[in-house]
């Protein structure tokens, strides 16, 4: 049982959970995630560790409502999460770089933030571009301002910050800074557009992939992604991958295929198959 210390609602889709989990907080590194089982015999839900505090022994998740379980977690009051498995995944590779650019789309902030923190601790300059659909969806602005040397907020409809998306300011940033490394974390389409925009500068770009996951430990094969024509498993080898190597078109195609009910069916199928073994 893991005690929920704080639940904060940001808007009609997004909320934050701060959970007491000293052992996970002690081991957590930027780029990792946990699998939460929010209810006895409930679904296994992967969420990025958006922040952790080793001294307090806490981990934080930013969660967006997309289906049944996340809606239940948003609506209901609960003091404990029955099960949390983690930290899972390969930590982000943090290396000495002068200027690191983060292109984060909406919920992508949850994965970008701990990586920014790790680079900041290494002495890097953090340039953040954060995109939302509109002003009502903006969250963690102060937290991001505190950690960023420069921050640009964009909204699709221009209701806050610059009108446009995170990719629309890439050229402007590259004119101002010698960027050494880029992280693009958000929707698959946003990450694909980022890779296309960065390619001409020849700078390394890392994307963070969240394909459907079931076990989260490399056994079921649900989270496969294609890199340079070869299959890799996002739960153990990722979520971070080289943006130039990942076949993002394949992932976009598959995520459309399993949208809505089909996504849940795939998971049910894999879970049942697991139970029959
Ligand atoms: C490594 C990893 C980290 C993640 N981190 C976060 C996070 O920090 N915050 C957050 O809000 N979500 C995160 N997700 C996505 C999150 O796990 C799903 O949104 C959640 O499991 C949906 O549960 P549900 O029962 O509410 O929705 P379901 O009813 O299962 O699905 C509803 C809709 O969401 C789609 N969906 C389900 N799982 C995923 C997925 N993995 N990726 C994309 N679409 C999905 C379905 O296809 C369907 O269209 C992460 C996923 C992975 C793999
Ligand atoms: S979730 Fe990655 S192999 Fe099962």
Q: What value does the mean pLDDT take over residues 153-181?
A: 95
* Closest by CA position to 180, among listed 94, 116, 97: 97
Whether residue 94 contacts residue 122, with contact meaning beta carbons closer than 8 Å, is answered with: yes
Q: What value does the mean pLDDT take over residues 129-155?
A: 95
> Residue 90 carries which DSSP code?
P
Ligand 1 pocket residues where CB is under 6 Å? 33, 43, 45-48, 61-64, 66-70, 107, 110, 210, 212-213, 239, 258-260, 263-264
In Å, what is the CA distance from 252 to each residue of 148, 191, 209, 225, 256? 30, 11, 11, 11, 6
The architecture (CATH level 2) of 2-88 comes to Beta Barrel (2.40)
Alpha-carbon distance of 50 to 61, in angstroms, equals 5
Query: Which distant-in-sequence residues (6+ apart) come within 8 Å of 15 by Cβ?
Result: 7, 8, 9, 62, 63, 65, 73, 74
pLDDT of residue 258: 62
28, 32, 39, 46: which to mutate for ligand 1, most atoms within 8 A of CB? 46
Phi-psi region of 123 (alpha: psi -120 to 50; beta: other; left: phi over 0): left
Three-state SS at 74 = helix
pLDDT digits (tens, 9 = 90+) for 82-131: 999 999 999 999 999 999 999 999 999 999 999 999 999 999 999 999 99
List the chain domain ranges: 2-88, 92-208, 211-277
Alpha-carbon distance of 39 to 3, in angstroms, equals 13
pLDDT band at 254 (very low <50, low <70, confident <90, very high): confident
Interval between CA 234 and ligand 2 midpoint (Å): 7
Q: Ligand 2 in contact with 235 (CB < 6 A)?
A: yes
pLDDT digits (tens, 9 = 90+) for 149-166: 999 999 999 999 999 999
Q: Which fold has domain 92-208?
A: Rossmann fold (3.40.50)
């Amino acid at each position: 049982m893991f005690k929920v210390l704080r639940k904060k609602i940001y808007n009609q889709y997004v909320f934050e959970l701060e959970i007491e989990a000293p052992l996970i907080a002690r081991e957590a590194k930027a780029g990792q995630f946990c699998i939460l089982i929010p209810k006895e015999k409930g679904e296994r839900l992967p969420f990025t560790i958006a922040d952790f505090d080793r001294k307090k022994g806490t981990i934080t998740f930013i969660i967006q409502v997309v289906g049944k379980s996340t809606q239940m977690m948003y609506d209901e009051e609960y003091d404990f999460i029955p099960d949390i498995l983690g930290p899972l995944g390969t930590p982000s590779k943090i290396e000495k770089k002068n200027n690191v650019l983060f292109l984060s789309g909406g919920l992508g902030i949850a994965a970008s933030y701990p990586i920014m923190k790790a680079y900041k601790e290494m002495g890097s300059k953090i340039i953040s571009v954060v995109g939302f659909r509109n002003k009502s969806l903006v969250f963690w602005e102060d937290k991001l301002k505190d950690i960023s040397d420069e921050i640009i907020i964009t909204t699709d409809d221009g209701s806050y910050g610059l009108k446009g998306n995170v990719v629309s300011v890439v050229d402007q940033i590259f004119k101002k800074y010698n960027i050494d490394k880029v992280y693009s974390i958000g929707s698959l389409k946003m990450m694909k557009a980022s890779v296309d925009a960065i390619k001409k500068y020849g700078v390394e770009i890392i994307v963070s992939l969240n394909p459907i996951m079931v076990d989260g430990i490399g056994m079921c094969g649900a989270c496969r992604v294609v890199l340079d024509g070869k299959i890799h498993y996002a739960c153990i080898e990722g979520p971070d991958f080289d943006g130039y190597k990942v076949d993002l078109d394949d992932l976009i195609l598959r995520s459309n295929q399993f949208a809505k009910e089909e996504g849940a069916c795939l998971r049910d199928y894999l879970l049942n198959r697991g139970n029959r073994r």
